[in-house]
Amino acid sequence: MKGKRIPKSQLLKSLPDEWSQNLRPVIDARNRADRRKIVVLDDDPTGTQTIHDLPVLTEWSTEALATEFKNDLPAFYILTNSRSFTLPVARKINADIGRNLIVASEQTGRTFSVVSRSDSTLRGHFPGEVEALSDALGRGYDGCIIIPFFQEGGRYTVNNVHYVEEDGVLVPAAETEFAGDHVFGYSVSNLCDWVAEKTGGQIVAKDVVSISIEDLRRGGPESVTTILMALHRGSYCVVNALGYRDLEVFVQGLLAAEGCGKRFIFRTAASFVQVRAGLTPRPLLTKIDLPLPPAGGGLIVVGSFVPRSTRQVEALLAERDLSHIEIDVDALVDDQLRDGEINRAVDDMETMLRRGIDVLIFTSRRLKIGKDSTESLQIGQTISKGLITVVRRLRQRPRYIVAKGGITSSDIATRALDVKKAFVLGQIQPGVPVWRLGHESCFPDLIYIVFPGNVGDEKALVDIVRQLRVRDDCKWRS
């Protein structure tokens, strides 16, 4: 099975049945009794794609952190956007947050656990930012737990191999377009080998512990606790999962191990947070669930260059009643052409929004890369800065904003719209979160949809725009 594509249905038939008991209420009750706050450091805004009714901070002063420690919510997010920075910058961000968390915890008397949330297709600054965070917290963790499972996006791990589902077939992650990332690429799908590769051989694959599907579905929480109790001195542990019930079993075993004094730090995708926080899943949001104004044009901003995003843009371009503005990336990286390109885009955007027309702004689809990962990041930052400038100069309040791409959605929120805090309402599609922006932002209470670059089929972006569109035969309800 390792390294081979396999139909998902065939794989499921070969495995034990899921654990029979629903453990979510037990986890929620334990969290309430412990009053331990779950703090999620999110390397782009897409980590909120499985949760609801929780805040997201874009700053991490001790005062802001202490405020969140004082409320009764089970968790909160800190948007670091560290995936858009070089490793030294990412390490510093994580270290600063770690030190501030210690101070805020001491001020409020509230204990906490930390999750480093990153991409479900294994892209990001690993292990660098987790090491920096761990060092700053100074807790002597027994292990780093790795869980890239993300059901909403079709990311599964079995026999330690991480898969991406494509049309019902599980494809080893290293064989997907995501593994070819010019900054965060990798060559192996087995997570034990992946840890060895990412640590430059400092961790040997055979030393990485794993919790198997059989451990979860046959041994249950007690088996998980036994494995976790044996971890020590900064071990690495991979958790296999094919469904949310597998995560429930893991978390129940984890809570028992933590109750015995074990300490862990987590590098996970989005699904883990929902279970660890004991949240009950919420149905997908519809237009009538959102406080949208009855008229006006929406703004769709696309900066993501992954092929999936490009296909979604192409589908949206075929839509009627939609204006589109293509921004030339070659012009954005040219000092002589940049201002003119930005001015053109701003004028066209304002004109269309004032007319109540939905507007798509997207960067041209030519991916520009540098001679190495650092230069590629710098080029990406320059392009992103141009897109930010366009949105920042927006004066006409849009009916809503959709931001496509993790880094794009973070930059637009924090650097164009001045968001300091937002509230996650839920998801409009699987893995696509909806935020309500805070009062300090340029457009208070605006509905802001964070659309990950690697999520959704070719029609996903079209479906959202159609769903939110103002129609004469539909009356808006608040």
As given in the structure block, the two tokens for residue 56 are 């997201």
Domain 289-468 -> CATH class: alpha beta
**pLDDT confidence tier of residue 476, bands split at 50, 70 and 90:** very low
| 423 phi and psi angles, rounded to 5 deg | -125, 130
What average pLDDT does the segment 67-83 reach? 95
What average pLDDT does the segment 49-75 reach? 97
Average pLDDT over the chain, rounded to an integer: 92
Amino acid occupying residue 160: N
Rounded Cα gap, residues 119 and 471, in angstroms = 36
Region of poorest pLDDT, from 63-67, 141-145, 378-382:
378-382
pLDDT by residue (tens digit) across 139-185?
889 999 999 999 999 999 999 999 999 999 999 999 998 999 888 99
pLDDT of residue 406: 82
Rounded Cα gap, residues 221 and 235, in angstroms = 20
**pLDDT confidence tier of residue 397, bands split at 50, 70 and 90:** very high
Rounded Cα gap, residues 38 and 116, in angstroms = 11
pLDDT of residue 369: 67
SS3 346: helix
Cβ–Cβ < 8 Å for 453, 84: no
For the chain, how far is it from start to end, CA to CA, in angstroms? Answer: 51
**pLDDT confidence tier of residue 279, bands split at 50, 70 and 90:** very high
Return all residues near 371 (Cβ < 8 A) that are at least 6 apart. none
Cβ–Cβ < 8 Å for 53, 281: no
Cβ–Cβ < 8 Å for 305, 365: yes
As given in the structure block, the two tokens for residue 310 are 């490009």
Does position 478 have pLDDT exceeding 70, yes or no?
Answer: no
Region of poorest pLDDT, from 7-11, 49-53, 370-374:
370-374
pLDDT of residue 367: 64
The string of DSSP letters for 412-454 reads IIIIIS--SEEEEEEEEETTEEEEEE-TTSSSTT-EEEEE-TT
Rounded Cα gap, residues 48 and 272, in angstroms = 11
Q: What distances in angstroms separate CA 381 from CA 284, 287, 295, 407, 474, one per listed residue?
A: 33, 33, 34, 9, 41
Residue spans of alpha helices (H) in 266-328: 271-276, 307-317
CA 364, 370, 376: angle at the middle one, nearest 5? Answer: 75
pLDDT by residue (tens digit) across 80-93?
989 989 999 999 99
pLDDT of residue 299: 97
Does position 313 have pLDDT exceeding 70, yes or no?
Answer: yes
Domain boundaries, the chain: 6-276, 289-468
CATH architecture of the region 6-276 = 3-Layer(aba) Sandwich (3.40)
Higher pLDDT among residues 378 and 19, named by residue: 19
pLDDT by residue (tens digit) across 329-355?
888 888 899 999 999 999 999 999 999
pLDDT of residue 360: 95
pLDDT of residue 379: 75
Rounded Cα gap, residues 43 and 41, in angstroms = 7
pLDDT by residue (tens digit) across 230-271?
999 889 999 999 999 999 999 999 999 999 999 999 999 999
Rounded Cα gap, residues 245 and 419, in angstroms = 35
**pLDDT confidence tier of residue 473, bands split at 50, 70 and 90:** very low
Cα 159 from chain centre: 24
Rounded Cα gap, residues 283 and 429, in angstroms = 10
Region of poorest pLDDT, from 28-42, 193-207, 269-283, 462-476:
462-476
Rounded Cα gap, residues 320 and 372, in angstroms = 41
* H/E element, 110: none
**pLDDT confidence tier of residue 475, bands split at 50, 70 and 90:** very low
Return all residues near 106 (Cβ < 8 A) that are at least 6 apart. none
Rounded Cα gap, residues 63 and 65, in angstroms = 5
> Among residues 249, 268, 233, which one has the least CA distance to residue 75?
268
What average pLDDT does the segment 445-471 reach? 91
Beta bridge partners of residue 264, listed in sequence order: 143
What average pLDDT does the segment 392-419 reach? 93
Does position 468 have pLDDT exceeding 70, yes or no?
Answer: yes
Residue 443: count other Cβ atoms within 10 Å of its Cβ.
Answer: 16
**pLDDT confidence tier of residue 365, bands split at 50, 70 and 90:** low
The answer to whether the peptide bond before residue 127 is cis (omega within 30 degrees of 0) is yes
Region of poorest pLDDT, from 196-205, 295-304, 413-422, 432-441:
295-304
Amino acid occupying residue 403: A
Return all residues near 66 (Cβ < 8 A) that are at least 6 apart. 104, 107, 108
pLDDT of residue 368: 60
As given in the structure block, the two tokens for residue 227 are 């494995």
pLDDT of residue 91: 98
Rounded Cα gap, residues 429 and 462, in angstroms = 12
26-27-29-32 Cα dihedral, nearest 10 degrees:
170
